[in-house]
Amino acid sequence: MTRVLVEGELTVDDVIVEDVGCDWKQIGGGALYSAVGAAMWGVEVVLCATIGPDYPLEALDPVAAGGVDISHVTRIEEPSLGLWLLSETGDRRRQIVKSRSATFQTLSAARPPWDELAAGIEGVHAAPTMVAAQSRVLSRAAAHGIVATQDALIEPFIEVERYRTGEAMRGASVFLPSIQEVRQIWGDDVDLPALFDHLHEVSGLRALVVTLGSAGADVYQAAGPVLRVPPVTVDVVDTTGAGDAFCGGFLTGLLATDDPVEAAIRGAVSSSFVVATVGAPAAIRAADPATAMARAAALRDRLEEAHDDRRA
């Protein structure tokens, strides 16, 4: 069985969705949703994260039952990371670290290395966290010849310049930021094809995949035109974790097919289960292989039809 590893943060969040409502003390974090997005495809996922004594570890039981190995989630004496997650209409999201929680810096620095696991790992995802911590993940993956993907974290305390220059992506095969993160790093008028060319030259990225919320995701590669993968059509309940789940599904698709577009199809399917439910445990319970494959096939047909229409 394919085995992948996700490293990043686990959080305990208060989620506020404009015109919808609130969900208090929801377990979350980019690492959790990325792991769930990968596990939906029948791979074994190792989750590496650090939590405090206040984290309700039993809340991860449904995630573990869905194929996520949580034995490498480490407790420390510092509090867990708590966030306010604010979702506004128009795919606008903000997060605020709670004043009494631990910090990204503290938890990322406390995560133990996973070199002893590397021999059985085929893919690694560096979920949103400190740039220095992501660099350690990518360096470790490169040293062991492991395919790696990377998401971004944009906060006032983040070393954005390392993203801007492309140095932060060294060791990653694919960088998967949201369009909001891209604009925060490179500006609203960024030329995305030129940006990919720059990142490809500096860090060796194979592909840049920019998630667009309800509009889908754009895939930039050295060969061929930019291709937009639309989202799966489902009734949206809560978009929390959708981009992270996309990353997890994407990694499994990249390992299975070596095709970033096919990987993005899997990412879109993983996101579809997350947005149709509330919380990572509910999403992994709702996902099943038959439905996932059917959604991927339908999305693939839509892409082929769109390609035929452009040729006509």
pLDDT digits (tens, 9 = 90+) for 38-81: 999 999 999 999 999 999 999 999 999 999 999 999 999 999 99
pLDDT at 132 exceeding the cut of 80:
yes
Closest Cα partner for 28 from 12, 7, 49, 15?
A: 12
- How far apart, in whole angstroms, are the C-alpha atoms of residue 262 and residue 76? 39
> Strand 81-88 and strand 92-97: pairing?
antiparallel
**Predicted local confidence at residue 113, as pLDDT:** 92
Number of H helices, E strands in the chain: 11, 14
Mean pLDDT score across all residues of the chain: 92
Using CA atoms, how far apart are residues 218 and 205, in angstroms rounded to an integer?
15
Instruction: Flag whether pLDDT at 312 surpasses 70.
Output: no
Residue 156 above 90 pLDDT?
no
Of 11, 178, 249, nearest in space to 108 by CA: 11
Q: Confidence band (pLDDT; 50, 70, 90) for 19?
A: confident
**What was the pLDDT predicted at 91?**
63
The number of CA neighbours under 13 Å toward the Cβ of 162 is 16
